[in-house]
Amino acid sequence: EVQLVESGGGLVQPGGSLRLSCVTSGFTFSRNDMNWVRQAPGKGLEWLSYISSGSETIYYADSVQGRFTISRDNAKNSLYLQMSSLRADDTAMYYCVREVPQADYWGQGTLVTVSS
């Protein structure tokens, strides 16, 4: 069974940092491209970042470029999102998503709240 389990969310002050993790199982992680997608309260889904299976190619949405860093550890079947300079509008549920190329499996999400 394919599983993606995010963690690392929480309450952080504006300007702060947070590192999200996504541990996967049930498939060959090293062969799959991965993404992060978020949903702010009352808003739609927003793609944030992509990383290819071997980390050769990385993309970011303009909204997080320069502030967020995606990475992966294929030996640990894990995906990461390092977030810095966080703002109130980064408050959202963050999802780890497998790409095949459609987004076929999503984690349950981890909630990030940016507030003083």
Partner 1 sequence: IALTQSPGTLSLSPGERATLFCRASQSVGSGYLAWYQHKPGQSPRLLIFGASNRATGIPDRFSGSVSGTDFTRFTLTISRLEPEDFALYYCQHYGGSPSRFTFGPGTRVDFK
By CB under 8 A, the residues from 15 to 34 that bind partner 1 are 33
Contact 79, 27 (CB under 8 A): no
d(CA 82, CA 3): 21
By CB under 8 A, the residues from 57 to 96 that bind partner 1 are 59-61, 95
- 40 near partner 1 (CB under 8 A): no
With CB under 8 A as the rule, give the number of residues binding partner 1: 23
Of residues 16 and 33, the one with the C-beta less far from partner 1: 33
